[in-house]
Structure 1
Amino acid sequence: MDLNTVTEVISPAGPGAWRPGDAWLGGGTALFGEPRPDVRRLLDLTAAGWPAITFHGDIEHGGGDIEIAATCTVAELNERLGKHAIVRQCCHAFLASFKIWNVATVGGNLCAALPAGPMISLSVALGGTLLLIGPDGTERRVPAAEFVTGEGTTVLRDGELLRSIHLPAAALTARTAYRRGSLHRHGRSAALLIGRVDAEGIALTVTASTRRPYVLRFPPGSEDLVAAIPAGEYVDDVHGRPVWRQHLTRHYAAQILAELS
């Protein structure tokens, strides 16, 4: 979609460039997906030269973390980290063509805050932390599980940008279980659940079926899952009704717990 109100593109751009009426530009697959009449300038982050993926610490022995730039594309993520099943599964949850894979960015998927965003699922399930930078250069870190607050809403403040996603290396090598369901084979995710075993037990991440991510700790009973996620939190749109999404969530949760227990 053309953004016919845009009069200027600033490239490369950094935090100090922002002013009201600006929008940060990554791959643009979400930004250009709907009308944005208030946007006057685009601030291009792809020209900032951020390394797509950086390894910190003793990765080989499960120490340190992996830094994924917000401008890292889905194709780059799959190529560099696709040997880990959970990364590969989340990349393929896009069900997008290679054209989208080579343009869409990890950060853009998070900032779009769509319930079905698989990079949200991946970041939350692996216990990620997000680095945010304000227009004055101030940095703050936010747990990935707290970044998305609802359908299309995040904790980002005016002018703030997502710089990178930090995943603990140990989480990538942990035992995981993945379940995804949609109305048809190539449809948008109606429920995407990931279970991960860590020192505290099983962490179950629920996305796509709910308006925001939920991370639940087990083992509780199935009735606790129902109580933990209010009925009003299930998404209602053309990709699935709330009652059906709730059913899928409970069904997949039971499968994941059985697999990881």
Structure 2
Amino acid sequence: MDLNTVVEMRDARSRDMWRPGDAWLGGGTYLFSEPQPHIRRLVDLSRMGWEPVRLTAAGDLEIAATCTIAELSRFAQGADWAAAPLFEQCCRAFLASWKIWNMATVGGNLCNGLPAGPMISLTAGLDGVCELQSQSGSKRQVPVADFVVGAGVKVLEPGELLRSITVPTRALARRTAFRQASLYGLGRSGALLVGTRDPIDGELALTVTASTVRPIQFRFPLPPNAAALHEALEYGIRPDEFYDDIHGLPEWRRHMTFRFAEEIRRELLQEDGR
């Protein structure tokens, strides 16, 4: 879709004051998908030269905001982490064409803040941390689970840039479980849950996305039984936090959340015979 209100495009490497009507341009798959009448200028990130994805000296995984879905998928396919399968599962949750895979960015998916954003599900489920950079150059770190606070609502300040997402090495060693549901075969996720189990202390973590307006996490230092899990979900998710749109009613999303949570609990605790 043409953005007929845009009158200028500038390189993000050039220093220029941020002004109302500016928007960061990564892959552009969302920006050009629907009218954006408030945008007057695009600030292009494509020439920043950030390495798409890499392992740090400490073994953490650093994903640049400009990393495409295809680049992340390829990198994870060659990895030997216990959590590696989760990357492909979340990438596939896009249900997008190869064109989108090669243009859409991880950062763009997070910054859209949509409940069904699978990169939100992936990075929140693996305890990812966003590095945000202000126009003055100062930086701050925000956990992905706290980055999105509502449907399409983020903690970004005007002109603030999502630079990267870091997944800690300990999270990469976790066993994972993935559940996703849509109302129809190629539909947007109506519920997407990620479970992980720490190999060191046995902690079970559950991250609820798509069915809720924001990522909601639950942590169980001791293996929960079915009743404990149900109670945590019952009191940990308010009724108004279940998302309501054409891709699923709140009642259905709630049902699938509770069902998937119990399936994940059983899968990750099966070695314990629970």
Question: Normalising by the residue count of structure 1, what TM-score does the alignment of the two structures yield?
Answer: 0.94
Distance 1:55 1:14 in 2: 28
CA drift of 1:17 comes to: 4.7
Q: Which amino acid aligns with 2:95?
A: L
Q: Which amino acid aligns with 1:224?
A: A
Relative to structure 1, the CA distance from residue 200 to residue 142 in structure 2 (aligned partners, 3 Å threshold; closer, same or farther) is farther
TM superposition outliers: structure 1 runs of 4+ over 4 Å: 14-17
CA drift of 1:200 comes to: 5.6
Aligned length: 256
Q: Which amino acid aligns with 1:225?
A: L
CA drift of 1:39 comes to: 1.1
Question: Identity rate of aligned residues, in percent?
Answer: 55
Distance 1:208 1:105 in 2: 19
Q: Which amino acid aligns with 1:135?
A: Q
Distance 2:107 2:16 in 1: 19
Relative to structure 1, the CA distance from residue 252 to residue 177 in structure 2 (aligned partners, 3 Å threshold; closer, same or farther) is same
Partner of 2:123: 123
Partner of 1:61: none
Partner of 2:11: 11
In the TM superposition, what whole-angstrom CA distance separates every residue of 1:214-256 from its partner, at most 9, and x where no partner exists?
Answer: 0012323313211110111001111100000000000000000
| Structure 2 counterpart SS, 1:46 | coil
Partner of 2:134: 134
In the TM superposition, what whole-angstrom CA distance separates every residue of 1:107-149 from its partner, at most 9, and x where no partner exists?
Answer: 0000000000000001100001000000111111101110001
Moved more, 13-22 or 96-105: 13-22
In the TM superposition, what whole-angstrom CA distance separates every residue of 1:196-220 from its partner, at most 9, and x where no partner exists?
Answer: 0123610000000000000012323
Give yes or no for the alignment of 1:239 onto 2:234. Answer: no
> 1:65·1:166 contact (CA, 8 Å) conserved in 2?
yes
In the TM superposition, what whole-angstrom CA distance separates every residue of 1:170-215 from its partner, at most 9, and x where no partner exists?
Answer: 2123101000001012111000000001236100000000000000
Q: What runs of 5+ residues in structure 1 fail to find an aligned partner?
A: 59-63
Moved more, 169-178 or 91-100: 169-178
Question: Normalising by the residue count of structure 2, what TM-score does the alignment of the two structures yield?
Answer: 0.90
Equivalent residues in 2 for 1:58-77 (5 A)? 58=58, 64-77=59-72
Q: Which amino acid aligns with 2:214?
A: R
CA drift of 1:34 comes to: 2.4
Distance 1:65 1:15 in 2: 31
Partner of 1:114: 114
CA drift of 1:5 comes to: 0.9
Partner of 1:221: 229
Partner of 2:81: none
| Structure 2 counterpart SS, 1:104 | coil
Question: Over aligned residue pairs, what C-alpha RMSD do you find?
Answer: 1.3
